């Protein structure tokens, strides 16, 4: 073990000293990081909902939630409790099995994708080798859930919304995957840990955003489109489709959609910060700070400092991006469906292909800057 | 028996059951929409089997290609043309069914025969490449499997051009399915943007 503090090891040792076998200890350990990530995802949603309410209020010169807790911070919890106790309605002519399965299929892939989100060198659930590819594969399942709920609602607006959602996420997945591919080309690895480490050599200057500015913009646009955020929220365009595939949903099933879309937004922001903004890296590398303070890099104090700064930096970068997304939502007009598909297929796709080709060329020409 | 092996056996049996029942459902269910969704479930379970075999890249590719692309397109197509129509009862359905069953059973027995007669090379757990498999697949695709790989891409290109030709009727003067001449004016009208300034 090259690192000083290892919570899993100490936890297992503690359980072993209580008389459990190492396998039992491992099984008891396994759900803990998952629960932690699930909790942080849900808390992240609550924070984002509050931010959305407050920022939209500021953009429209209102005050926003005010009475539930200080500055209305408890408003999202009140919203959640309200959805929890609402009546669960399944329309009489709807297909009840598909109607129930739809929201679940939308939420599960999003939560599963948190598997590969690192908050620090060893602070992730699983460092699977296929890393970022897992997220691309999982996010391609989502349209099935949307189509399912759109179809099962037995409502023309829902069906149209579901079809639009599927068309949108299929068209924007391709430029998204191509811009990720350019990063992978520079890293020589699919693992999210390797992608961040590759950007950590000289702090802020080595972040991928300087080497992949076009890829960054393409990825951000496509991520917003995949989350169905406002410039691209065609599937639930209120003026045309009532609420798209969510029209017939109420109570907890609606809450699942709501939760899914916000978890997806935070996930996309986290992925942008991992792929382009150096992940958990501080703008000045921690090694330099440790050397400046004359403390060995393996000292427990530096370990704790690195982990703390890692989590803080990841969350900070992600929430900066969430803030931009919310601001975009409340200040930009919506695109039309044909403009949306034109943008995806005729603009983003060729540009991301050219970006990939350019990255490959630069990798051959300047291997010291673009990962030999 | 260690916990890892037990988990593996449990996962394998659940996945196999889902695959078999799901595949039967795809074939036997009356509703085409249910069949399409079940097909997605079968594809997912097959990806699960790949995961059990330590082939995580193949599993993710299976999900991306079969569930995310093929199955979504199938469901998409079904929903776009979901017409409620009364189908005529097919004549001598029983003879058709019997012949289908015989052909399927023959194929099944052939597969079982191959399975039993072949000596399968089993990789020991120590020699499995695991996470390195992504690199290996890439190496193989660009060395000894280069020709099939490129031929497959040409095939996809052909399919794509075909689809574009079918979709863009305005490049042809005859309708493909009916053979009637196409009204060019109507097509031009349809491709005009709705919100344009009148000249």
Indicate whether B91 belongs to any domain.
no
Q: Which domain holds residue B74?
A: 1-82
Is there a contact between A197 and A276 (Cβ–Cβ < 8 Å)? no
Q: Report DSSP state, residue B86.
A: P
Is the confidence at residue B17, as pLDDT, over 90?
yes
Task: Give the chain A residue whose CA is nearest to the CA of B44.
Answer: A141
Indicate whether B28 belongs to any domain.
yes
Is there a contact between B100 and B94 (Cβ–Cβ < 8 Å)? no
- Beta-bridge partner residues of B174: B181
Is the confidence at residue B122, as pLDDT, over 50?
yes
CA dihedral in degrees (B32, B33, B38, B44; nearest 10)?
130
Of A140, A141, A144, the CB nearest to B75: A144
Chain A: nearest CA to B156, how far in angstroms?
16
Last residue of a domain, one of B82, B110, B129: B82
Last residue of a domain, one of B60, B82, B104: B82
Indicate whether B142 belongs to any domain.
no
* Residue A17, pLDDT score: 80
- Beta-bridge partner residues of B181: B174
Other C-beta atoms lying within 10 Å of the C-beta of residue A253: 22
Last residue of a domain, one of B82, B101, B131: B82
CA atoms within 13 A on the CB side of A308: 6
Contact A130 B60 (CB under 8 A): yes
pLDDT per residue as tens digits for the range B19-45: 999 999 988 887 888 888 899 999 999
Q: What is the CATH number of the domain that holds B5?
A: 1.20.120.1200
Of B60, B71, B73, the CB nearest to A134: B60
Is the confidence at residue B174, as pLDDT, over 70?
no
A154-157 LR contacts (CB < 8 Å, sep 24+): A154/A91, A154/A93, A154/A94, A154/A95, A154/A248, A155/A91, A155/A247, A155/A248, A157/A241, A157/A242, A157/A243, A157/A244, A157/A247
Mean per-residue pLDDT, B89-102:
85
Q: Is A128 on the interface with B (CB under 8 A)?
A: yes
Indicate whether B131 belongs to any domain.
no
Q: Is B33 on the interface with A (CB under 8 A)?
A: yes
Percent of residues, chain B, with pLDDT higher than 70: 76
Contact A141 B68 (CB under 8 A): yes
Q: How many structural domains compose chain B?
A: 2
**Which residues 125-184 of chain B have a CB within 8 Å of chain A?**
130-132, 134
CA triplet B26, B31, B36: central angle to 5 degrees?
45
Q: Is B50 on the interface with A (CB under 8 A)?
A: no
Indicate whether B30 belongs to any domain.
yes
* Residue B111, pLDDT score: 93
Mean per-residue pLDDT, B166-171:
68
Q: Is A166 on the interface with B (CB under 8 A)?
A: yes
Indicate whether B194 belongs to any domain.
yes
* Residue A232, pLDDT score: 77
Other C-beta atoms lying within 10 Å of the C-beta of residue B61: 18
Characterize B84-94 residue by residue with b for buried, 16 or more Cβ atoms within 10 angstroms of its Cβ, and e for exposed.
eeeeeeeeeee
* Residue A3, pLDDT score: 45
Please list the rounded mean pLDDT of every run of 10 residues in chain A (372 residues). Answer: 58 77 77 83 88 88 81 83 84 83 88 84 74 88 87 84 84 89 86 82 79 89 84 71 78 86 90 86 76 75 79 88 89 82 87 91 82 61
* Residue A195, pLDDT score: 83
Q: Provide the 3-class DSSP secondary structure of residue A280.
A: coil
The angle, 0 to 180 degrees and rounded to 10, between the axes of the packed helices A31-59 and A300-331 is 40
CA triplet B136, A141, A357: central angle to 5 degrees?
50
* Residue B19, pLDDT score: 93
Contact B193 A170 (CB under 8 A): no
Is there a contact between A47 and A316 (Cβ–Cβ < 8 Å)? no
Say which range, A257-266, A315-324, B98-107, B176-185, has the weakest mean pLDDT: B176-185
Task: Provide the ipTM.
Answer: 0.80
Indicate whether B125 belongs to any domain.
no
Mean per-residue pLDDT, B11-18:
92
* Residue A4, pLDDT score: 47
Q: Is A167 on the interface with B (CB under 8 A)?
A: yes
| Rounded CA separation B95/A292 (Å) | 86
* Residue A1, pLDDT score: 35
Counting beta carbons within 10 angstroms of the beta carbon of residue B166, is it exposed (0 to 12), middle (13 to 18) or buried (19 or more)? exposed
User: Which residues in chain A have Cβ-Cβ distances shorter than 8 Å to B1?
Assistant: none
What is the pLDDT of chain B when averaged over all its residues? 81
Is the confidence at residue B151, as pLDDT, over 70?
yes
Is there a contact between A278 and A314 (Cβ–Cβ < 8 Å)? no
| Rounded CA separation A135/A124 (Å) | 14
pTM of the model: 0.82
Indicate whether B61 belongs to any domain.
yes
């Amino acid at each position: 073990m090259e690192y000083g503090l290892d919570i899993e090891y100490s936890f297992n040792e503690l359980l072993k000293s209580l008389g459990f076998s190492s396998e039992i200890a491992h099984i008891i350990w396994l759900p803990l990081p998952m629960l932690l990530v699930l909790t942080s995802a849900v808390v992240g949603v609550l924070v984002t909902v509050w931010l959305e309410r407050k920022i939209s209020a500021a953009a429209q010169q209102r005050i926003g939630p005010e009475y539930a807790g200080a500055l209305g911070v408890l408003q999202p919890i009140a919203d959640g409790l309200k959805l929890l106790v609402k009546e669960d309605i399944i329309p009489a002519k709807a297909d009840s099995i598909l109607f129930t399965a739809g929201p679940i299929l939308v939420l599960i892939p999003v939560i599963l994708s948190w598997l590969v989100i690192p908050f620090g060198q060893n602070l992730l659930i699983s460092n699977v080798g296929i890393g970022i590819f897992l997220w691309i594969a999982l996010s391609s399942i989502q349209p099935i859930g949307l189509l399912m709920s759109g179809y099962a609602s037995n409502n023309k607006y829902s069906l149209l919304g579901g079809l639009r959602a599927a068309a949108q996420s299929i068209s924007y997945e391709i430029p998204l995957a191509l811009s990720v591919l350019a990063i992978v080309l520079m890293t020589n690895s699919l693992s999210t840990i390797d992608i961040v480490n590759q950007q950590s050599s000289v702090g802020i200057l080595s972040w991928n955003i300087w080497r992949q500015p076009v890829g960054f913009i393409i990825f951000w646009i496509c991520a917003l489109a995949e989350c169905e955020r406002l410039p691209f929220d065609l599937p639930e365009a209120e003026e045309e489709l009532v609420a798209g595939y969510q029209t017939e949903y109420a109570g907890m099933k609606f809450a699942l959609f709501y939760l899914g879309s916000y978890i997806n937004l935070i996930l996309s922001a986290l992925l942008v910060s991992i792929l382009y903004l150096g992940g958990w890296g501080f703008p000045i590398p921690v090694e330099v700070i440790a050397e400046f303070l004359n403390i060995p890099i393996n000292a427990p104090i530096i370990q704790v400092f690195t982990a703390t700064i890692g989590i803080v930096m990841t969350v900070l970068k992600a929430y900066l991006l969430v803030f931009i997304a919310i601001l975009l939502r409340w200040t930009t007009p919506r695109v039309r469906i044909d403009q949306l598909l034109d943008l995806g297929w005729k603009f983003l796709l060729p540009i991301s292909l050219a970006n990939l080709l350019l990255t490959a060329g630069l990798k051959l020409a300047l291997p010291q800057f673009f990962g030999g | 028996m260690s916990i890892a092996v037990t988990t593996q056996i449990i996962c394998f049996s659940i996945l196999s059951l889902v695959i078999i029942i799901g595949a039967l459902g795809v074939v036997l269910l009356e509703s085409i929409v249910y069949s399409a969704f079940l097909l997605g479930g079968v594809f997912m379970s097959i990806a699960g089997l790949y995961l059990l075999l330590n082939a995580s890249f193949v599993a993710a590719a299976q999900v991306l290609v079969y569930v995310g692309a093929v199955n979504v397109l199938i469901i998409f197509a079904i929903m776009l043309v979901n017409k409620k129509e009364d189908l005529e009862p097919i004549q001598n359905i029983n003879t058709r069914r019997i012949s289908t069953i015989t052909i399927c059973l023959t194929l099944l027995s052939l597969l079982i025969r191959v399975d039993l007669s072949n000596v399968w090379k089993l990789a020991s757990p120590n020699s499995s490449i695991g996470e390195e498999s992504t690199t290996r697949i890439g190496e193989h695709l660009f060395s000894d499997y280069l020709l099939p790989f490129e031929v497959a891409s040409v095939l996809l290109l052909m399919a794509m051009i075909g689809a574009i030709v079918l979709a863009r009727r305005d490049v042809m003067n005859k309708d493909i399915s009916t053979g009637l001449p196409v009204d060019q004016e109507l097509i031009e009208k349809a491709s005009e943007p709705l919100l344009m300034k009148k000249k």
